[in-house]
Structure 1
Amino acid sequence: MTIRRALISVSDKTGIVEFSRQLAEQGVQIISTGGTFSLLEKEGVPVTGISDVTGFPEILDGRVKTLHPAVHSGLLAVRDDEEHQKAMKELGLDYIDLVVVNLYPFAQTIAKPDVTYEDAIENIDIGGPTMLRSAAKNHAFVTVVVDAADYGAVLDEIKAQGDTTLETRKRLAAKVFRHTGSYDALISDYLSKQVGEPLPERYTVTYEKVQDLRYGENPHQKAAFYRKPLAASGNITTAEQLHGKELSYNNINDANAALAVLKEFDEPAVVAVKHMNPCGVGIGTNIHEAYQKAYAADPTSIFGGIVAANRTIDAATAALLSEIFLEIIIAPDFAPEALEILTRKKNIRLLKLGEFTSAAERKPEWLVTSVDGGMLVQESDVHTISADDLKVVTNRKPTDEELKQLLFGWKVVKHVKSNAILLAKDDMTIGVGAGQMNRVGAARIAIEQAGEKSQGSVLASDAFFPMGDTLELAAKAGITAVIQPGGSVRDEESIAVANANNIAMVFTGVRHFKH
Structure 2
Amino acid sequence: MSARKDRDRPRVALLHVADRTGIVEFAHALLELGFELIATGPTATALRQAGAAHRSLSEFTGERLPADALALLHPKIVGAIAAEKPGVDLVAVNFYPLAEAAGDPALSQDEVLSYVDPAGPTLLRAAARNFKNVIALCDPDDYAQAVETLKAYDRMLPDRRQTLAAKAFHSAAYYDSTVAQYLGGKWEQFPDEVVVALKKSADLRYGENPHQSGAFYTLSGARPWGLNAARVIQGRPLAYGHYLDLEAAWDLASGFTEPACAVVKLGVPAGFASGPDLARAARRACAVDPRGTFHATAAVNREIDEEAAQALAEERLDCIAAPDFSGKARLILKAKKDARLVTLPSALVAPNELDLRAVAGGMLVQERDQRAYTGELKRTSKRAPSERESAALDVAWRVAMRARSHAAVLARGTAVIGIGSGQTSRLDAVRLAVVKSQERHPILAAGEPLVLASDGALTAEHVDAAAEGGVIAIIHPGGAAEDAEAALAADRHGVALVATGLRHFRL
AA aligned to 1:408 is V
In structure 2, what is the equivalent of residue 318 of structure 1? Answer: 309
In structure 1, what is the equivalent of residue 196 of structure 2? Answer: 205
**Are residue 295 (structure 1) and residue 286 (structure 2) matched?**
yes
In structure 2, what is the equivalent of residue 382 of structure 1? Answer: 370
Q: How does 1:439-450 map to 2 (within 5 A)?
A: 439-450=426-437
Residues 179 and 261 of structure 1, relative CA distance in 2, 3 Å threshold: same
In structure 2, what is the equivalent of residue 356 of structure 1? Answer: 346
Give yes or no for contact 1:57–1:65 (8 Å, CA) kept in 2: no
How far apart, CA to CA, are the structure 2 residues paired with 1:259 and 1:165?
51
Residue of 247, 267, 274 corresponding to 1:283: 274
Give yes or no for contact 1:481–1:505 (8 Å, CA) kept in 2: yes
**Are residue 32 (structure 1) and residue 32 (structure 2) matched?**
no
AA aligned to 2:428 is G
In structure 1, what is the equivalent of residue 457 of structure 2? Answer: 464
Q: How does 1:117-136 map to 2 (within 5 A)?
A: 125-136=117-128
How far apart, CA to CA, are the structure 2 residues paired with 1:102 and 1:326?
42
In structure 2, what is the equivalent of residue 115 of structure 1? Answer: 109
- SS of 2:290's equivalent in the other structure is coil
AA aligned to 1:208 is K
Residues 67 and 266 of structure 1, relative CA distance in 2, 3 Å threshold: farther
How far apart, CA to CA, are the structure 1 residues paired with 2:360 and 2:226?
28
In structure 2, what is the equivalent of residue 372 of structure 1? Answer: 360
What is the TM-score normalised by the length of structure 1?
A: 0.82
In structure 2, what is the equivalent of residue 490 of structure 1? Answer: 482
AA aligned to 1:337 is K
In structure 1, what is the equivalent of residue 90 of structure 2? Answer: 97
In structure 1, what is the equivalent of residue 506 of structure 2? Answer: 514
Shift of 1:183: 2.7
**Are residue 51 (structure 1) and residue 58 (structure 2) matched?**
yes
Residues 241 and 358 of structure 1, relative CA distance in 2, 3 Å threshold: closer
Q: For structure 1, which segment, 140-149 or 207-216, has the greater mean C-alpha deviation from structure 2 after superposition?
A: 140-149
Residue of 470, 491, 494 corresponding to 1:499: 491
AA aligned to 2:109 is V
Give yes or no for contact 1:106–1:123 (8 Å, CA) kept in 2: no
Q: For structure 1, which segment, 183-192 or 275-284, has the greater mean C-alpha deviation from structure 2 after superposition?
A: 183-192
Number of matched residues?
491
How far apart, CA to CA, are the structure 2 residues paired with 1:232 and 1:198?
23
Give yes or no for contact 1:413–1:420 (8 Å, CA) kept in 2: yes
Shift of 1:18: 5.3
**Are residue 412 (structure 1) and residue 399 (structure 2) matched?**
yes
AA aligned to 1:255 is L
Shift of 1:451: 0.8
**Are residue 399 (structure 1) and residue 386 (structure 2) matched?**
yes
Unaligned runs of 5+ in 2: 5-9
Shift of 1:464: 0.8
Residues 218 and 32 of structure 1, relative CA distance in 2, 3 Å threshold: same
Residues 482 and 100 of structure 1, relative CA distance in 2, 3 Å threshold: same
In structure 2, what is the equivalent of residue 179 of structure 1? Answer: 171
In structure 2, what is the equivalent of residue 330 of structure 1? Answer: 321
Give yes or no for contact 2:476–2:500 (8 Å, CA) kept in 1: yes
In structure 2, what is the equivalent of residue 91 of structure 1? Answer: none
- SS of 1:199's equivalent in the other structure is coil
How far apart, CA to CA, are the structure 1 residues paired with 2:310 and 2:298?
14
Residues 295 and 205 of structure 1, relative CA distance in 2, 3 Å threshold: same
Shift of 1:224: 2.5
Give yes or no for contact 1:54–1:70 (8 Å, CA) kept in 2: yes
Give yes or no for contact 1:157–1:164 (8 Å, CA) kept in 2: no
How far apart, CA to CA, are the structure 2 residues paired with 1:37 and 1:6?
13
Residues 503 and 114 of structure 1, relative CA distance in 2, 3 Å threshold: farther
Cα-to-partner distance string for 1:220-246 (whole Å, 9 max, x where unaligned):
333332221134434223311223233
Unaligned runs of 5+ in 1: 78-83, 89-93
How far apart, CA to CA, are the structure 1 residues paired with 2:204 and 2:288?
32
Shift of 1:415: 0.2
- SS of 2:210's equivalent in the other structure is coil
Give yes or no for contact 2:388–2:449 (8 Å, CA) kept in 1: no
Residues 449 and 106 of structure 1, relative CA distance in 2, 3 Å threshold: closer
Give yes or no for contact 1:209–1:225 (8 Å, CA) kept in 2: yes
Give yes or no for contact 1:236–1:252 (8 Å, CA) kept in 2: yes
Residues 198 and 38 of structure 1, relative CA distance in 2, 3 Å threshold: farther
AA aligned to 2:457 is F
- SS of 1:300's equivalent in the other structure is helix
Give yes or no for contact 2:98–2:178 (8 Å, CA) kept in 1: no
Give yes or no for contact 2:251–2:348 (8 Å, CA) kept in 1: no
State the identity as a percent. 33
Residues 251 and 357 of structure 1, relative CA distance in 2, 3 Å threshold: closer
Shift of 1:315: 3.2
Residues 143 and 341 of structure 1, relative CA distance in 2, 3 Å threshold: farther
How far apart, CA to CA, are the structure 2 residues paired with 1:345 and 1:192?
41
In structure 2, what is the equivalent of residue 80 of structure 1? Answer: none
Q: For structure 1, which segment, 175-184 or 63-72, has the greater mean C-alpha deviation from structure 2 after superposition?
A: 63-72
Residues 48 and 296 of structure 1, relative CA distance in 2, 3 Å threshold: same
What is the TM-score normalised by the length of structure 2?
A: 0.83
How far apart, CA to CA, are the structure 2 residues paired with 1:240 and 1:161?
47
CA RMSD of aligned residues (A): 3.7
How far apart, CA to CA, are the structure 1 residues paired with 2:97 and 2:265?
43
Give yes or no for contact 1:111–1:230 (8 Å, CA) kept in 2: no
Residues 404 and 456 of structure 1, relative CA distance in 2, 3 Å threshold: closer
Give yes or no for contact 1:211–1:225 (8 Å, CA) kept in 2: yes
AA aligned to 1:131 is L
In structure 1, what is the equivalent of residue 7 of structure 2? Answer: none
How far apart, CA to CA, are the structure 1 residues paired with 2:474 and 2:268?
21
Cα-to-partner distance string for 1:334-367 (whole Å, 9 max, x where unaligned):
22333333333333322221x21399xx623111
Shift of 1:416: 0.5
- SS of 1:247's equivalent in the other structure is coil
Cα-to-partner distance string for 1:306-355 (whole Å, 9 max, x where unaligned):
111222223333333233322211122222333333333333322221x2
AA aligned to 1:367 is D
Give yes or no for contact 2:178–2:221 (8 Å, CA) kept in 1: no
Shift of 1:38: 5.4
- SS of 1:48's equivalent in the other structure is coil
**Are residue 435 (structure 1) and residue 422 (structure 2) matched?**
yes
Cα-to-partner distance string for 1:482-504 (whole Å, 9 max, x where unaligned):
11111111111111111122211
Residues 329 and 19 of structure 1, relative CA distance in 2, 3 Å threshold: farther
How far apart, CA to CA, are the structure 2 residues paired with 1:200 and 1:97?
37
Residues 319 and 106 of structure 1, relative CA distance in 2, 3 Å threshold: closer
- SS of 2:427's equivalent in the other structure is helix
In structure 1, what is the equivalent of residue 253 of structure 2? Answer: 262
